[in-house]
Structure 1
């Protein structure tokens, strides 16, 4: 009876350890890689873009990534160096700036 408990405890410990190690390795893989494998360089009309996310380069990826969520829900990676992408980002940044309060 004692051996049975010891074997069950060792098996449970092994299962727990393998689960923890597997989850750690998966989280590292997801964090340390580029999201965009290919980018879209043909212009997309701004009315079809619902949201734009700019991810700066860092330890996860050596490239700046621009991810647009379209009005149909599809996510598309945009070429960050394309002039039309730069114009859209500049327009969004300009519209998000609040004017300074005037002092009278």
Structure 2
């Protein structure tokens, strides 16, 4: 039974590690999205960093990306900036790949 238990423990540790990396990558992606949207809004420096943190925090409202998209769309619309949900989802996918690379290296 020891070999089975060792394999089970190793699998559980790997799963936990993978989940942690996925969480970090998503948070980094959201920050990158926040910085990109901040640029669209004309924010820079500390204002852009603060906005990016707000985007990261918005992701804790519900599972999935809908809360992040909803937050940035509301902010963009408030400034009469029209960026489609499709473009935002594409940007999220692009930024996730960048975030994964940043975390890995």
More helix by share: 2
Bigger Rg, which one: 1
More strand by share: 1
Q: Does TM, scored on the shorter chain, surpass 0.5? A: no
Bigger relative CO (Cα 8 Å, ≥ 6 apart): 2
TM-score normalised to structure 1 length: 0.39
TM-score normalised to structure 2 length: 0.39
